[in-house]
Every structure is written in structure tokens, then in C-alpha cells.
Structure 1
Amino acid sequence: MKRYIQLIALVLIVAACNSNGTSLGEIQWNHRLSKSIFEQAKSEDKLILLTLEANWCHWCHVMEDSTYSNGEVQELVNENFISVKVDQDANPELAARYRKYGWPATIVLNAEGEDLMKKAGYMSPSKYAEELQKVLRGTPSVKRSMAKNQLRPEEIMKERLKNNFTKYLDDQNGGFKSSMRYLEEESMEYVLHFDNSNIHRNWFQKSIEAAYALCDQEWGGVYQYSARRDWNHPHYEKLLHIQARYMRLFLNDYAFNGNEESLRKAEEIRAYCERFLKQSNGLYGNAQDADLKKGEKASAYFELSDEERIKRGIPAIDTNTYTNSNADFARSLLKFYSITNNQEDLKRYQTILGHLLQRKTAKGLYSHAYNPKEIDALRDNLAMAQLFTEHMKRFPKDRKIAAEMEGLATMLVKYFRLPNGTFQGFSGELGLVPKANVEENVPLARFFNWYAAFSGKEKYKKHATSVANYLRKVDAEKPFFHEPEISMLFAELSEEAGSHVSVKEEKSHPLLVQAYIFAPYFSNFQLLEDSNDATKLEQFSGIETSSLFICTSSYCSSPLRDEEAVKNFYK
């Protein structure tokens, strides 16, 4: 009898498993979104359930353990959807499209690649099932585009952008009036270079000092953000691109305001990345998990000393060395080198740059990792364009990188431009309806505008203007959450790039380096001895002392002959 019961139990276990050894009740996830998924959805008359997660994300772990393991949820999904779950870090073309919805992100699409539902964050099993049932009943939750056919007057839009930006600032506590506390680089850039009023300047300083609370006091590094509308409830994941952002923010505060504490914080971030994220090839891993044990809050762990943490183990490291985040980190190392003249930072920078250049594909684009995919992401190639921009400002004689940048600018237009003049987030057959992402299009437009000034190729300014015109069609009441960068784009399109001309400087060009540290983004840098501009050669022919001139087509500053004079010019 006992043997018979054991046999029955074995039969039941086998019956509950498929040929791959997976429980039939488990959600049958696909792990790649592709054109074939949409073809399958069409042939089976089903919707597509897309889940974007991150391997460092606490609430992704919780949803995995509770919601996706729920039997009723599993039955609902398997019967009615073609389900796809992917790592958003490994798929920047999807991350960029759905980033504002947070992780985990739950999206439902039809077979034509149109979004029917987009939800952010953790959902309990009952809430998850309720939202999916709404879609199955034909109740859409996606608001349609609010774009208009008429161009909104530019001055009206500029005023709206400025008012929106000021409205969202938290003057008392730093950061923004939102449930999450963090710093956003373009807002700080806007205050430093475009609107340095007393109100904004005070907000800048309060925000920088408030952000110290996001720094891990034991290991260094910066947590992604704090919840509950204050700076004291951090989400403990540490992402490489977040480390890069705060390094630049703190370094800028040190350079402009002389804040030694900000320099120390930047150095601690760099030390954290060296210790925990750096890989054997000199590139840097993507992130460190928020949880020591997936799905369990790690607040108590991060209160421990280094020694006690190490005894308990360390949260998992994502060792993937993605192009977008490494290019971003390289820019921070270049900033570090320029400000502190630390040769080790230059070596680190050169190592990253060398590896990333090897990721150039036959199409002239840069792949997300060493093994190219069929889909190319705008995010990776935008990050490379931004890296090349900073490189050419800092090393204006580097013809190799100038050639790389020229080729990349051409390919960005060829593979990502849409008929309306904006740029989609991916190149290749993905199955999604192509559309522009403001978060990517604004910095890309700024790059094109800068590159037009750098190269003298006016067509790239036309591409930047096309993006700006698209933005002017957006409904006046719709907040962008990118107000500062859009404002800077409009300002840069209407003005001439400042040209920094180095005359008779020593080999290291200290005045030009100082200008690189303090000059706004829309600036070019030239060595007179390397120039073929006959007008400038004649204009400065009588200068015998090391000097820096800041010029437009109709004006040049007085000669700046020491580093303090360059700094004061901008301050």
C-alpha cells in the first residue's frame, strides 16, 4: 500500500511538470521581445504581457516571490497572454521607452505593438489580476498623445518651462517636490549656467548637501534615491550610471563653490566603484543589489560596519559591463582627471574608452555589450556621442576620436531618425510602434546642435531644430519633467557656441583645461597652433604670452592669462 501511494505521488509530480522540468502552473515567460512574439500574438489572437525588471531591484524580487508565484495569476496569464519578462538593463531600447514607469514595469501590448496598459512598481496578486482583467475587458489605461498640429510660440513655451521647473523645486529640503528624493544633473547644470538667481543658487547648495544622505557612509557610493518625501529612506541599490551622475554633481560643486566635502564624496564614490564594481578588464559592472537576500529589506544590514557586512556577505553584483553606463562613468573619470590632475583617473578613462571603441559594429553603431544584438539601442549610441563630445573638448587634437564622432553622427541619423524628424529608441525589427522618447531626444538634439558648431555641418542643427519643433507641439499643460534640459536646448539653438582659443600655452594647456571645467556645454575648444582658420591666425599673431580667448564670430574676450582669471570669467 505504501509503495502504491508513493507511485501515485510520483505520477502527480510528473504530471505537474512539462518537458523542461517547469511546473505547468508557472508563468510561461519568454525572455526576449521580438517581431516573432508579435506574430505569435496575432496568430493566437492574444495580447502581449511585457514585464521589465532589474536584478538589483527590491520590489522586483518581492513581486517574483508573491505575485508571479500566485496560482490564480499564473492561470490568468498563461490562458490569456503571451508573456515576456526581460532585464531592463540588458535591453536599453525597452528601458528608455518605459523608464518613467519604474521597475518592475508591467505593460500590455496588442499585436500591432501599441501600448494598452502601463503600470509602475509592485502589484499584489489581486491588484495585478484586476489590472489585467481590465485590459481583457477592453478598458484601456494608456492616455493617448496630447501633441498638437500647431507649433506653440517659442517664447510662451520657454516661460512655461521655466515656471514648471521652479514650481517643482523644494526650496526647504532640496531636490524636488515628489515622493522620491534624488538629484537630476540637467537641473543643476541649468542653475550653474543659465539661471543663477539667488533662489536657484540656494536651492542648488541645499540640494547638494541634502544628497549627502544618499551616500553610503561605510562603503561609499550612492543609493539610487530616497522614498517618503525625505532623504532618510534610501533604496539601497547602487547603479553605475547613478554613481557617474553624482560624481559629476559633487565635482561641479567643488569646482564652482570650493566645497571640499563634495570632493570627498566624489572620491568615496570612485573608491566604491573601484572596490565593488570594477571588473578584471578595467570596465565596470552595472549595479549592486539593494537586498542581501532577495526580497528582504536590507536596512539593518546597511547600518553595519564594513567588517560586519563582509561577515554576512555582500549584495549581489551585476557584472555586466554595458556600454551606456560605462560611457557615462568614463565622462566622470575625465571630469575627475581634469579637476584633480590624477593620472590614475586618466588611465581608467583611457581603458574604458579603448574597450568601448571595440564594440563598434559593422553598421557603424556601438553595441550594448561585446556580443552585438539584432537590435541597436539609441541609449548606447547617445552615451558614446556624449563621451566623444567631452573627449574632443578636453583633447581637441585627437583626430581619431573626431573621425569616430563624425561616423557616429551619420549613423544616428541613418538608423534612428523618424519621418517627423524625431528619433526612435531602437534600430531593427522589434515589433513595437516606433516613437520618440523625450528623455533621449533632448540630449541627442543638444549633441547635434553642438556637433554642427564643432564640425561646421549645418545639417545637424536642422536635426536639432526638428526635435525642438516636435517639443513645441506638446500640449501646454503637460509637464515634461525635463524642463531644464529643454530650456537649455532652446537657448543653445538661438545662440552661437563660445569658442575657446588657446594661444602660446605650454603642452598641457592649463588655461584650456580650466575653461573645460567651467564652460557651459555649448562650447568649443581650439589650439591656435592647430588651427587652419586664417582669420584667427592673423588675429592672434602678435600674442607672445600664454593666453586664452573666449570668442564668438563678432567678439573676443580680453586675454585670460591665469587659471583664476578663467574661473572668474565664468563665475
Structure 2
Amino acid sequence: MGGTKINWLEWGSEAFAKAKKEDKPILLDISAVWCHWCHRMDEDTYSDNEVANIINEKFIPIKVDNDKRPDVNARYNMGGWPTTAVLTPEGETIAGATYIPPVQMKHFLEDLYDVYKKDKSEIKNKLSQISRRESIMSLAKIEEVKLNPEIFEDIVDNLVLNFDMEYGGFGIEPKFPSSEAIRLLLLKYRKSKNEQYLKMATKTLLAMYNSEMYDKVENGFFRYCVRRNWTEPHYEKMLEDHAELLRNYAEGYQASKDEEIKKAALGIIKYAQEKLENKEGGFFGSQDADEEYYKLDLEGRKKKTPPLIDKTIYVNWNGKMVSSYLYAFSVLQDTHLKEFALKTIDFVLKDCYSQEGGVCHFYATGKKGMGGLLTDNLYFASALLDAYEIAGEQKYLEKAKELADFMIKNFFDKEKGGFRDISNKHENLGKLEKAEHSFIENSFAARFFVRLYYITDNEEYHKKSEAVLKLLQTMYEYYGIFAATYALSLDFYLNHAMVNFIYSKKDEKSKSLHSELLKAYYPSKIIRMLEVNENKSQIEKLGYDPNTFPAAFVCFGTMCMPPAFNPEKLLGILAKQ
């Protein structure tokens, strides 16, 4: 493990047992392969002889990979990477920081070791007084909550209030992409036809693309920028960011028809194809930060070794990228996007999935890693639904249902109404003893389950979506612009378009109408694919004629429109709502 002078242990029962037996505090280092300052911490601080001696003598050192253990990171991150945290042998946080240079680290370690040895009872008393984030949820009486559509407008207003009118984006600095906020602005534009929201979204998209945040030599986006004007980027390139940004730029192009926004989407795809696609299926996790390399032109880079690509395949990020590839296919009609997305689904199902255990978190060096995380099952299940709507294959819907049932059984919290981030069978070391309820993941779960309900008519999925939305309504105000993901899900639940699409796989008109349905910018549409041969009985049960195809039956709530038999009629219906 990293840090050559330190006897690092892996996160696990052995390390915790050793800390308790020897009565030593734990030094927890959370790092990432793409993180520049994590490498600096290893090279500068953890390679210092005095620092290493203090740690090896007085602490139990544990090193955790952030990407492979998001459950640990969610509970112990001190505001960035690396995270440097000192814990009790039971796993409670005493103190922490991020990057610490060698001289300061010596004082930090000695002081905290003395505090631990001299004031154990005081530390225990203070820790017992600290309220956990779940306490907010425990106060909520979910059964009394009624969903409030006006919250959508409240969250949009907050985005406008925080929008940077000069440079685009939100807040002052540092500047992150804020992908869900951009999606919400685009959705608000579609609903209101108010150009203000479109301008805010496109200003941000173009500002990022034309700034130092975008690699103009090899394509792709860096993770974020330190300065308000999108300068001084942190140079790591992340699969998750590219998945979210590809969706942003694809939707941005749909809404604006701006060719430069389309060019940015194509640049993301080019980067992913050249650097992140695994030929057997799946996307690699990240590319390392290397400021010196990325500041060179093409000729200069040819003389250097490119930054390391982490070839670990993370299922949650792959789920997001599959969804974005499929969405971009519907907009750009590049068949490679669809084919590689479906190839990735097949890869994950083959190597990372079991009906009893759901999907694993990562796959590396021919082996699957740990499982039991909501994030992987949720985003991959959503990708399966996207594949069903685009490819029309029943097998994807069946797998999505399997994962939905798995999530309800293993992650749903009947007491609080939301989904836990770890399964009820997960390890319970340290703060993993208590589950978190991720606001972002629960927001997305509400969207997924309401989609699945309207496709399958399984009332259980509807109940879960409603319960999650009610829970999150009690706390969305705490999340600022990050509440955008809740607004998207709330609006999806309340104002979606349900499309029963009757078609024949062999019919060219069916393919054409389906293509136009996918291409239409209507983010809150749900498509139930009804093939005239495979789903004949279901078509008849719904009251439709299986001999009349292709046909799109669109309903907005309880208001159902006359059938659309051609693209013009279909687009006209969607445009009116």
C-alpha cells in the first residue's frame, strides 16, 4: 500500500482489533489514485522518517481508497482528499484535516496522541453529544407530509439566486460543474419557455467548454476549477463527471440547437472512446492529475508519459455512463454509443452481478470487489431501464425489476422511509454501524422507482417513490443548489408523460417513430415498449389494438391524448405540455 515507510493496514476487523488490543488511536488516510495532493502526501509527509516513526509507534495506520470504499469516505471525509483523520479504536472521529505537510504533521500526531492518552473520558463524553446527520430525519413524521409542487419553484429560485451572471455556474469559487442544477434550468426552460433559464444553462455549458476546465488537446473535462472564472483546474479526469456532463451537453443541444454545445458533447464522447472504454465492455474509472503534462501542447505531450488511467470499473459510475451514452445516442444517432452501452451492461451482468447479492461495487484485475452499496444497484438499475426504453428488449426490464426488488429488501428503511446507503448485511466497523441516507441517491431512487411503477404497474414501486420524496421534502432546504436533484425527481413524479409505444421490431415506420420519440427533448417521459408479437396480450389488456402500429399513446396524468401515428403528431403532443 502507498506510503513506503508506514506499515499501512487495510480497513477491516483485523486493524480495529489491533487498535483496541494495543489501545492506540487509528490514523485513517483516505486517498484516490487520481488525487494530486494524495500523491504529495505519500511523497512528502508519509515518506518523512520522523512522521513514519511516530505513526508506526503510536497509531494504527489504515489506508482507504476513496473510490473503492465510498461508504467509508461518506462517514469520515474531512472536506477533501486526502483525508487525514484520527479515530478512536471504536472508529469515532477525534480530529482530522486534509493535506498536512511533514512539519505540521508531526505536531498534529503528537498533540492528538497526547489528547487520546490523557483525556479518553472527555473524548468519549464529547463524542456522545455529537448529533448524527440522521437525527434530522428522525424528527420527520413522514405520514403527515404532503408533497408540495411549489418546492420545485423554490429550488429553481435558489439556483437563480446563486447563479454567477458574469462567468456562469453557481456560487463564487471554487467552481464545480453542478450537473443536476444545469439539468433543472433546462427543464424549467422547457416547462416555462422563459429564455432566461436557457441562457443561464447555455452560458454555463459554454463557459466550461471554452475555459481551462476543458482539455483542448485530448478532450475531456478536468474535475473542477479553483477560480470563479473557470481557471486553475484540478487536472484529474473522472468517469462520473463525464457521464453527468455528457447528459448536460446532450440536453443542452436538444434545448438550444447550439452547435458549439453539440461539439462539446462530441468531445466528451471522443475522450471516453479513446481513454475510458474497455474493449471487453465497461468504462475505466479515472485519469490521473498531471499539471505539467496537461499544460503542454500536442507535440509536448508526445514526449511525455500520459497520466495514469485507473482501469478499475466502478459499477455506479458505469451505470451513469451507460445511461448518458444511451441518451446521447437518442440525440446524436451514433450507433457506437448504443452498442457500447449495451456491451457494458452485458459485461456487468456477467462479471459483477448475482440475483442474491445484486451488483458489486467494482471490477479490477479480473476480480469483482465488494458489494452491498445502494449506489451501484441504483444507477445500474436505472441504466437497465434506459436500455429497455431504447433497445426494446424485455430482458433489461426484468433485470431492472430484480434489482429494484433487491434494493427494497436490502436497503429500504421501513422506519424512516428512505434507502440506506449500505445493505442491512454490510460490515459494521466504526461508523459503518449506522447507515446513512444519501440525499442525492434517495432523490434519484424516487425517480427510478416511479419510472418502474408506470412501466410495470407494481404499486410497491410507487409507494417507495412517494415515501422517499416525502422524507426528502422535510430536509431539502439544507442542501442548497444540490437540492436540484430533488426538484427533478419531484417534478418527474408529479408531471411526467407516460407513453405506451406499440411497435413491431421488423417495421421501419416503427423504428422511425421510436427514434423521434427518443430524440424529443422531454426529460420527464416514461416509455413502455409494447411489441406487437411479444406483448400482444398486454397490449389488448390495456385496451389497444395490436394490429395498429406504430402508435404512441401519450398520457399526462389522467389526461390521455389521441394516438400519434407519425412523428409530427407525436412531437406536437409533447410540445403542448
Aligned partners of 1:496, 1:381: CA distance in 2, in Å? 26
Verify: 1:101 aligned to 2:79, yes or no: yes
1:442 Cα deviation after fit:
1.7
- Matched with 1:365 is 358
Q: TM-score, normalised by structure 2?
A: 0.83
- Matched with 1:290 is 289
Of the three residues 124, 139, 149, the one matched with 2:101 is: 124
Aligned partners of 1:265, 1:564: CA distance in 2, in Å? 29
- Cα distance, 1:281–1:450 mapped onto 2, change above 3 Å: same
- Cα distance, 1:401–1:424 mapped onto 2, change above 3 Å: same
Q: Given that residues 497 and 552 in structure 1 are in contact (C-alpha distance below 8 angstroms), is that contact kept between their aligned partners in structure 2?
A: yes
- Matched with 2:300 is 308
- Cα distance, 1:329–1:158 mapped onto 2, change above 3 Å: closer
- Cα distance, 1:376–1:535 mapped onto 2, change above 3 Å: closer
Aligned partners of 2:267, 2:87: CA distance in 1, in Å? 43
Residue by residue over 1:539-570, the C-alpha shift from the partner in whole angstroms, topping out at 9 and shown as x without a partner, is x68967x5433214632235545545545655
Counterpart residue identity of residue 123, structure 1? I
Of the three residues 338, 357, 373, the one matched with 2:330 is: 338
Q: Given that residues 450 and 465 in structure 2 are in contact (C-alpha distance below 8 angstroms), is that contact kept between their aligned partners in structure 1?
A: yes
Q: Given that residues 499 and 525 in structure 2 are in contact (C-alpha distance below 8 angstroms), is that contact kept between their aligned partners in structure 1?
A: no
Q: Secondary structure at the match of 1:191?
A: helix
Aligned partners of 2:340, 2:309: CA distance in 1, in Å? 20
1:480 Cα deviation after fit:
4.9
Verify: 1:229 aligned to 2:221, yes or no: no
Counterpart residue identity of residue 267, structure 2? E
- Cα distance, 1:421–1:353 mapped onto 2, change above 3 Å: same
Residue by residue over 1:216-236, the C-alpha shift from the partner in whole angstroms, topping out at 9 and shown as x without a partner, is 111111111111222122111
Residue by residue over 1:91-149, the C-alpha shift from the partner in whole angstroms, topping out at 9 and shown as x without a partner, is 23334556783321233443444444454x42333554565545746376977436161
- Cα distance, 1:541–1:441 mapped onto 2, change above 3 Å: closer
- Matched with 1:467 is 468
Q: Given that residues 170 and 176 in structure 1 are in contact (C-alpha distance below 8 angstroms), is that contact kept between their aligned partners in structure 2?
A: yes
Q: Given that residues 242 and 268 in structure 2 are in contact (C-alpha distance below 8 angstroms), is that contact kept between their aligned partners in structure 1?
A: yes
Aligned partners of 1:465, 1:319: CA distance in 2, in Å? 38
Q: Secondary structure at the match of 1:464?
A: helix
- Matched with 1:520 is 523
1:192-231 matches, within 5 Å, as: 192-194=186-188, 196=192, 197-212=194-209, 213=211, 214-231=213-230
1:317 Cα deviation after fit:
1.5
Q: Given that residues 251 and 336 in structure 1 are in contact (C-alpha distance below 8 angstroms), is that contact kept between their aligned partners in structure 2?
A: yes
Q: Secondary structure at the match of 1:101?
A: coil
Q: Given that residues 502 and 509 in structure 1 are in contact (C-alpha distance below 8 angstroms), is that contact kept between their aligned partners in structure 2?
A: no
- Matched with 2:387 is 391
1:114-513 matches, within 5 Å, as: 114-117=92-95, 119=97, 121-128=98-105, 133=111, 136=116, 138=123, 144-145=132-133, 147=136, 149-151=139-141, 155=148, 161-194=155-188, 196=192, 197-212=194-209, 213=211, 214-291=213-290, 297-298=291-292, 301-358=293-350, 359-361=352-354, 363-367=356-360, 368-369=362-363, 371-396=367-392, 398-418=393-413, 419-427=415-423, 428-431=426-429, 432-433=432-433, 434-474=435-475, 478-493=478-493, 495=494, 497-503=496-502, 506-507=507-508, 508-513=510-515
Q: Given that residues 342 and 387 in structure 2 are in contact (C-alpha distance below 8 angstroms), is that contact kept between their aligned partners in structure 1?
A: no
- Cα distance, 1:79–1:466 mapped onto 2, change above 3 Å: farther
- Matched with 1:10 is none
Counterpart residue identity of residue 32, structure 2? A
1:441 Cα deviation after fit:
2.0
Deviates more, 1:441-450 or 1:416-425: 416-425
Verify: 1:537 aligned to 2:575, yes or no: no
Q: Secondary structure at the match of 1:482?
A: helix
Q: Given that residues 33 and 430 in structure 1 are in contact (C-alpha distance below 8 angstroms), is that contact kept between their aligned partners in structure 2?
A: no
1:85 Cα deviation after fit:
0.9
1:198 Cα deviation after fit:
3.8
Q: Secondary structure at the match of 1:107?
A: strand
Aligned partners of 1:130, 1:455: CA distance in 2, in Å? 60
Aligned partners of 1:172, 1:382: CA distance in 2, in Å? 37
1:502 Cα deviation after fit:
3.1
- Matched with 1:548 is 552
Aligned partners of 2:67, 2:155: CA distance in 1, in Å? 30
- Cα distance, 1:259–1:42 mapped onto 2, change above 3 Å: same
Q: Secondary structure at the match of 2:501?
A: strand
Aligned partners of 2:246, 2:222: CA distance in 1, in Å? 13
- Cα distance, 1:521–1:127 mapped onto 2, change above 3 Å: farther
Deviates more, 1:551-560 or 1:268-277: 551-560
Aligned partners of 1:522, 1:38: CA distance in 2, in Å? 49
- Cα distance, 1:445–1:83 mapped onto 2, change above 3 Å: farther
| CA RMSD in angstroms, aligned pairs only | 3.2
Deviates more, 1:316-325 or 1:145-154: 145-154
Q: TM-score, normalised by structure 1?
A: 0.83
Deviates more, 1:134-143 or 1:323-332: 134-143
Aligned partners of 1:357, 1:520: CA distance in 2, in Å? 27
Deviates more, 1:509-518 or 1:349-358: 509-518
Counterpart residue identity of residue 447, structure 1? F
- Cα distance, 1:426–1:81 mapped onto 2, change above 3 Å: farther
1:365 Cα deviation after fit:
0.7
1:379 Cα deviation after fit:
1.9
Residue by residue over 1:16-67, the C-alpha shift from the partner in whole angstroms, topping out at 9 and shown as x without a partner, is xxxx9x97xx33211x222343333333333333222111111111122222
Q: Secondary structure at the match of 1:56?
A: coil
Aligned partners of 2:11, 2:408: CA distance in 1, in Å? 24
1:279 Cα deviation after fit:
3.1
- Cα distance, 1:218–1:569 mapped onto 2, change above 3 Å: farther
Q: Given that residues 502 and 511 in structure 1 are in contact (C-alpha distance below 8 angstroms), is that contact kept between their aligned partners in structure 2?
A: no
Q: Given that residues 46 and 81 in structure 1 are in contact (C-alpha distance below 8 angstroms), is that contact kept between their aligned partners in structure 2?
A: yes
Counterpart residue identity of residue 410, structure 2? Y
Residue by residue over 1:490-545, the C-alpha shift from the partner in whole angstroms, topping out at 9 and shown as x without a partner, is 3344x26422133567445333333333232452333373352446434x68967x
What are structure 1's unaligned runs of at least 5 residues? 1-19, 292-296
- Cα distance, 1:483–1:282 mapped onto 2, change above 3 Å: same
1:208 Cα deviation after fit:
0.9
Q: Given that residues 41 and 47 in structure 1 are in contact (C-alpha distance below 8 angstroms), is that contact kept between their aligned partners in structure 2?
A: yes
Counterpart residue identity of residue 206, structure 1? K
Q: Given that residues 319 and 383 in structure 2 are in contact (C-alpha distance below 8 angstroms), is that contact kept between their aligned partners in structure 1?
A: yes
Aligned partners of 1:271, 1:316: CA distance in 2, in Å? 18
Aligned partners of 2:481, 2:283: CA distance in 1, in Å? 29
Residue by residue over 1:212-262, the C-alpha shift from the partner in whole angstroms, topping out at 9 and shown as x without a partner, is 022211111111111122212211111122222222211112222111122
Aligned partners of 2:310, 2:36: CA distance in 1, in Å? 14
Deviates more, 1:322-331 or 1:381-390: 322-331
Counterpart residue identity of residue 520, structure 1? P
- Matched with 1:294 is none
Counterpart residue identity of residue 383, structure 1? Y
- Matched with 1:66 is 44
Q: Given that residues 453 and 497 in structure 1 are in contact (C-alpha distance below 8 angstroms), is that contact kept between their aligned partners in structure 2?
A: no
- Matched with 2:7 is 28
